[in-house]
């Protein structure tokens, strides 16, 4: 599970955060990790208690059209994550080959490595998990070495972690904060975790056994996310120490000249631009060529390890939302082909700068997709007819509801900021406004469904309730909550018609 918090998109977000905001956004990183732990807890509980994963439950209880829209949104997130893995792996190979292997060739090579993992999968999930553990260890050692070599200011790190404030920050830092949230809390990872817990045998008829399983899964998730948080912290701190000064790149340029580094000219600017590629070169200038290769190995491990999480998530999502079963290699071929096409074109015709820009945009895309995982997981873990005695209590409902509202508000604010950067053309504005309206309408629908299933009966009087298909009966045995079973019957009858 921790793999999803350590993919190349996370690393890109980490180094951008350090370069653009120094240590000031570490509290956002920590808060996003805690929120991610909260969501993983809900996902695990859903799978443990019901024996179904989130996509299967969405298939059972949502109307056909919302269900298909949800599936499309999650697939977009999976493909976006896969594109980041392709970019990260291609960049790592580019660095390790001393720029002799073209970026587009590295992108094409990623097709092969995916099927290599499928061969490992045939030896069993536990062996594959052990291999992932090895890759995480490699990342921890590689990035931990860079952290030790950089020796960042520990006082600044503590201040950044525990003071939720960003002095002197502007739109650039705000967009970066949104990117951190999207990079850390990936929507498809919530669907994935609710499915992975099904691989363990649990006696669901025994309430005590279910409680124990929930506790162990929470501890497992906490340990996994703590490890991922430390690795992300290493990366942010290294680049905050090296680039957070106003003349950061000038300093790096001077160090490159002193060490007679061939790519010194790339840092001959006062604008602190950095990405996965330039991040490796920065480390090479500062600590020697070995540091650059160590960085590249860490990025390669991140790209390789996160490949299979997208594969599993995609398979579970397709099977759950569509009740459609494909062989895993077919699913991988489809997703990776869609991810590779735009990536290889940009790598061939444009270059690394445009690939890095795509990485940043993909992180924000993840954040925009978050409500389509947060709202469903909150809906079904808060409903008695789904979770029985393990449903969310009122404090958890309020907490997760507020967090979901904050994420949606941040996303809308980002759209406003993003529109200011667009070319002044009516067609572009119309497209963005139309997309925003449709996005909001669907979020409102999911929120309405969530509130109705949790028993907010005043919403039943709204004139559009019948239009949305909200036909159900109150379940008096469930403390006057609305019965999901009745909702399910209503939706099934609508679908059949």
**pLDDT of residue 92 exceeding 80:** yes
Looking at per-residue pLDDT, the higher value among 435 and 119 belongs to: 435
Say how far apart CA 127 and CA 210 lie, in whole Å: 26
pLDDT of residue 366: 77
Tokens of 149: 């070599």
Tokens of 155: 């006082």
Decide if 403 contacts 473 (C-beta within 8 A): no
Question: What is the overall mean pLDDT for the chain?
Answer: 79
Say how far apart CA 302 and CA 93 lie, in whole Å: 12
pLDDT of residue 306: 74
pLDDT digits (tens, 9 = 90+) for 7-16: 888 888 888 8
Say how far apart CA 305 and CA 131 lie, in whole Å: 9
Sign of CA dihedral 348, 432, 466, 393: positive
Residue 372's pLDDT band (boundaries 50, 70, 90)? very high
pLDDT digits (tens, 9 = 90+) for 185-208: 788 889 988 988 877 778 888 888
Q: Which residues contact 184 (CB under 8 A, 6 or more apart)?
A: 5, 10, 13, 29, 32, 33, 35, 36, 232
pLDDT of residue 185: 79
**pLDDT of residue 333 exceeding 90:** no
pLDDT of residue 118: 66
pLDDT of residue 244: 66
pLDDT digits (tens, 9 = 90+) for 18-36: 888 889 999 999 998 998 8
Tokens of 262: 């061939």
**pTM score:** 0.82
Cα three-residue angle 329-330-333, rounded to 5 degrees: 85
Say how far apart CA 471 and CA 409 lie, in whole Å: 30
Q: Which domains does the chain have, with CATH numbers?
A: 2-367 (1.10.4160.10)
Q: Which residues contact 478 (CB under 8 A, 6 or more apart)?
A: 384, 385
484 vs 165, 392, 475, CA distance in Å? Answer: 42, 15, 9
Q: What value does the mean pLDDT take over residues 460-472? A: 56
SS3 category, 455? coil
Say how far apart CA 262 and CA 277 lie, in whole Å: 14
pLDDT of residue 481: 42
Decide if 443 contacts 375 (C-beta within 8 A): yes
């Amino acid at each position: 599970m921790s793999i999803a918090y350590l993919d190349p998109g996370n690393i890109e977000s980490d180094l951008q955060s350090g370069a653009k905001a120094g240590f000031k956004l570490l509290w956002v990183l920590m808060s996003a990790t805690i929120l991610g732990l909260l969501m993983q807890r809900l996902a695990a509980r859903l799978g443990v208690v019901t024996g179904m994963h989130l996509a299967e439950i969405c298939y059972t209880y949502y109307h056909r059209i919302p269900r298909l829209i949800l599936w499309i949104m999650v697939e977009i997130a999976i493909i976006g994550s896969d594109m980041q893995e392709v970019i990260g792996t291609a960049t790592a190979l580019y660095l390790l080959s001393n720029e002799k292997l073209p970026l587009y060739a590295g992108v094409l090579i990623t097709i092969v490595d995916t099927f290599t993992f499928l061969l490992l999968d045939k030896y069993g999930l536990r062996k594959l998990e052990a291999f992932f553990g090895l890759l995480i260890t490699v990342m921890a050692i590689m990035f931990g070495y860079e952290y030790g070599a950089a020796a960042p200011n520990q006082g600044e790190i503590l201040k950044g972690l525990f003071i939720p404030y960003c002095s002197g920050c502007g739109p650039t830092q705000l967009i970066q904060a949104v990117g951190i949230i999207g990079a850390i809390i990936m929507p498809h990872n919530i669907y994935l975790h609710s499915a992975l817990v099904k691989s363990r045998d649990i006696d669901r008829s025994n309430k005590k056994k279910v409680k124990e399983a929930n506790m162990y899964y929470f501890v497992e998730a906490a340990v996994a996310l703590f490890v991922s948080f430390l690795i992300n912290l290493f990366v942010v701190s290294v680049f905050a120490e090296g680039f957070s000064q106003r003349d950061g790149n000038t300093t790096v340029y001077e160090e490159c000249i002193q060490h007679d580094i061939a790519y010194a000219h790339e840092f001959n600017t006062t604008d602190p631009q950095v990405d996965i590629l330039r991040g490796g070169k920065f480390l090479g200038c500062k600590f020697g060529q070995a540091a650059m290769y160590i960085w590249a190995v860490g990025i390669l491990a991140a790209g390789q390890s996160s490949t299979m999480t997208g594969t599993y998530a995609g398979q579970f999502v397709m099977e759950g939302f569509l009740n459609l079963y494909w062989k895993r290699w077919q699913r991988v071929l489809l997703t990776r082909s869609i991810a590779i096409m735009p990536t290889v074109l940009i790598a061939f015709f444009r270059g690394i700068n445009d690939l890095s820009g795509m990485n940043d945009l993909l992180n924000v895309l993840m954040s925009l997709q978050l409500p389509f995982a947060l709202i469903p997981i909150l809906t079904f873990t808060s409903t008695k007819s789904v979770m029985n005695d393990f449903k969310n209590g009122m404090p958890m409902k309020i907490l997760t509801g507020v967090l979901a509202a904050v994420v949606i508000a941040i996303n809308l604010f980002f759209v406003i900021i993003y529109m200011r950067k667009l070319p002044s053309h009516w067609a572009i504005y119309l497209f963005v406004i139309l997309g925003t309206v449709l996005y909001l309408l669907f979020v409102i629908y999911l929120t309405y469904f969530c509130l109705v299933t949790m028993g907010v009966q005043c919403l039943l009087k709204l004139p559009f309730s019948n239009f949305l298909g909200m036909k159900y009966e109150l379940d008096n045995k469930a403390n006057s909550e609305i019965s999901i079973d009745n909702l399910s019957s209503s939706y099934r009858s609508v679908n059949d018609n």
